[in-house]
Amino acid sequence: MHEQMPHGVKITEIVEETPSIKTFIFDREIVARPGQFVMVWVPGVDEIPMALSTPSSITVQKVGDATAALFAMHEGDKIGLRGPYGNGFAVSGRTLVVAGGVGASPLLSLITAGQADTVLLGARTARELLFADKIRDYATLMVATDDGTAGHHGFVTELISRVDLADFAHICVCGPEPMMRAVLAILDREGCAERGQFSLHRYMKCGVGLCGSCCIDPHGLRVCRDGPVFTGDLLLESEFGHHARDASGSKHKI
């Protein structure tokens, strides 16, 4: 698929993964690296960035107008895709994955490719744990839930103390930004921030680095083009975990 041109794809299957998350499988495979994203056009509503969970699917949580419109779609409906964009994860050697909520989506293809050794997976409750059964087939899985209904009773960041970070060449992270910022703080304290790889989600318009709507302070890094995956050392002094921007470009606290 030419990355600059949107292509119509048909939704062939919709899987309810959790009460708030669905996977939309479409009739085209996109060759992409784990962590890359596509711009998804929901006809008549909006175009938004979405990570690929497999070469032929996106996994979506309903959080706004475009995702609500997706949730109202049925098998046989069409959406538009362009991409893939961004840099994705780059790993070699032993890899630790830390995922929270729907943040497991861009990490799934890394895991199913056999490139993750240990996965720390968190969610609010057991019913919201995403891809847990699939992950167990490929890696050692440790689970945390906010309400204690599965695994550790607490945040997924608290599981990091149960592994030896020195055993891992890379720590790949995706989830709510406050959670990722907490992981970065732990890595910084342990002197290994540069081994962390963090997948950011930001408001985007073009997806190709032209409009600047996804830039992050203070260096003007473009999430769509320079990311969406950044090493932790690049994010330490940035707005990561503190501020984001809306469609008007206004900054707001996370």
Q: Which residues are annotated as a binding site for [2Fe-2S] cluster?
A: 206, 211, 214, 224
SS3 208: coil
Which structure tokens are listed for 78? 């069409």
Residues 209, 183, 232: CA angle, nearest 5 degrees: 40
Contact between residue 77 and residue 88 where contact means Cβ atoms under 8 Å apart:
no
Beta-carbon contacts of 242 under 8 Å, excluding residues fewer than 6 positions away, are: 181, 253, 254
CA of 244: how far to CAs of 158, 163, 167, 240, 254, in Å?
A: 25, 31, 33, 8, 6
Binding-site residues from annotation: 206, 211, 214, 224
35: left (phi over 0), alpha (psi -120 to 50) or beta: left
The residue type at 165? L
CA atoms within 13 A on the CB side of 93: 7
Beta bridge partners of 41: 47, 80
